[in-house]
Structure 1
Amino acid sequence: MNANGNGGPLDGAVIAVAGAAGPAGRAALLRLAEAGATVVASDADPARLAEAVDAARYAHGGATVTGDTVDLLDLDATRDWAAKTEKEFGRIDGLVHLVGGWRGAPSFTEADLKDWDFLEKLLIRTVQHTSLAFHDALLRSGRGRYALISQVGAHKPQANNAAYNAGKAAAEAWTLAMADSFRKLGGEDGPQAAAAILVIKALVHDAMRAERPNAKFAGFTDVKELADAIAGLWDRPAQEVNGQRLWLTPKP
Structure 2
Amino acid sequence: MTKLIAIDDGHGSETPGKRSDVIPELGRQVKENEFNKEFAKYLEIELKRCGFRTIQLAPTDYDTPLRARTDLANRAKADLLINGHFNAITGKFATSKAEGFSAHVHSKTGQAAKFANIALKNLSGGTPQKNRGLVQQNLHMTRESHMPAVLFEFGFMDNLREARLMLNVAFQKECAQEVAKAVCEYYGVSYVPESKPVAKYAPKPVHSAAAPKREESVQILTGGLNADSVKIIAEFFIAKKWWGQLQFEAPGNPRMLSGGLDPKMKTEYEAWLNERN
Q: Same fold (TM over 0.5)?
A: no
Query: Which structure has the larger Rg?
Result: 2
Q: Output the TM-score relative to the length of structure 2.
A: 0.24
Higher helix share: 1
Q: Output the TM-score relative to the length of structure 1.
A: 0.26
